[in-house]
Amino acid sequence: MKKVYLLAHPAGHSLSPKMHNAAFKHLGIDASYQAWDVAPEALRQALITLRQPDVYGANVTVPHKVAVFERVDTLTDAAKAIGAVNTVINDNGSLKGHNTDAEGFLKALREDASFDPQGKRAVMLGAGGSARAVAYALLRAGVAQLSIYNRTVQKAHDLEVGFRSLGPVSVLSQLELEDAVQGADLLINTTSVGMARGGVDPNQSPLKAGILPQRGLVCDLIYRPARTRLLRDAEQAGLKIQNGLAMLVYQGAESLTCWTGREAPIKTMFASARSALGETST
């Protein structure tokens, strides 16, 4: 039996084991996906395990995404641009680091929300790790403008400098935020404000009341709760909304294809992720 690990610390409440094991079963692949609590000092040994012939590879999450980026043998262009690895592929004992968050985000927009970002004006809240993947995805998809607002302004500027060769990207001051949001076709929250576990406050929105786009899609990378305060406000205002579950599923699907060469069973993965979250599968 082949193995896939999720390298995490702690390895608490991830939906990925259920989602991937359901996919392996659906595809008739003799493999198992398991979360592995790896303390930072044990990471070196864990990477040796990933080189074994019975291991397809791994997903990587907090706090190892950058440390793994620095220790694999090769990196894909996406991983290099984003500066972090969320997927490791064991290629005959050589470890390839990849990042599927950008592709996952883009597919979630296109396939699940029927939204094509090409030529659209996007405002992104946040400038952390997931923001780097979202910025990479949107600029490569040809947005007309990507405007970034972050509490710590310097991090937004760093992101702008790192990505300006890919397309039109700028940083918003607090004074500019309201106008930019109102004129946006796409608003994405990549901050942890509104997240239920380990977030700031599940009832808080990253935006002041009343500041919303006048049209288009509002997207929150958070999926616990399924409807954050931001998404509830946007829905009430008649806007289209999407939470982070679709991105989670599509980034996992892309990882599965990297490990196995097979097309991922998206419906099965959605259903198991939703049932693991306690939502009804539709």
**Using CA atoms, how far apart are residues 31 and 39, in angstroms rounded to an integer?**
24
State which residue, 248 or 269, has the beta carbon closest to ligand NAP. 248
Half-sphere exposure of 220 (CA within 13 A, CB side): 28
Nearest residue to ligand NAP, scored by beta-carbon proximity: 128
Number of residues that bind ligand NAP (CB under 6 A): 26
Q: Is 220 helix (H, G, I), strand (E, B) or coil?
A: strand
Residue 208 has a CB neighbour count (10 Å cut-off) of 10
Query: In 94-173, which residue ranges form alpha helices assigned H by DSSP?
Result: 101-107, 129-140, 153-163
Question: Is 231 one of the binding residues for ligand NAP (CB under 6 A)?
Answer: no
Instruction: Find the part of the chain contacting ligand NAP (CB under 6 A) among 14-22, 28-36, 150-158, 261-269.
Output: 150-158
Closest-CA residue to 57 (of 24, 81, 33): 33
Asked if 204 and 193 touch (Cβ cutoff 8 Å), the reply is yes
Instruction: Find the part of the chain contacting ligand NAP (CB under 6 A) among 45-53, 114-122, 126-134, 255-263.
Output: 126-134
Which x/- pattern, by CB under 6 A, does the window 179-218 give for ligand NAP?
-----------xxxx-x---xx-----x------------
Question: Is 16 one of the binding residues for ligand NAP (CB under 6 A)?
Answer: no
Q: Which of 5, 33, 56, 223 binds ligand NAP (CB under 6 A)?
A: 223
Catalytic residue among 2, 18, 25, 65: 65
State which residue, 15 or 212, has the beta carbon closest to ligand NAP. 15
**Using CA atoms, how far apart are residues 92 and 73, in angstroms rounded to an integer?**
12
Question: Is 248 one of the binding residues for ligand NAP (CB under 6 A)?
Answer: yes
Cβ contacts of 247 within 8 Å, gap of 6 or more: 101, 104, 105, 108, 221
- In the numeric block, the tokens 């198991």 are attached to 272
Asked about 240 being catalytic, the answer comes back as no
Residues forming the active site:
65
Interface contacts to ligand NAP, rule CB under 6 A:
101, 126-131, 150-152, 155, 190-193, 195, 199-200, 206, 221-223, 244, 247-248, 251
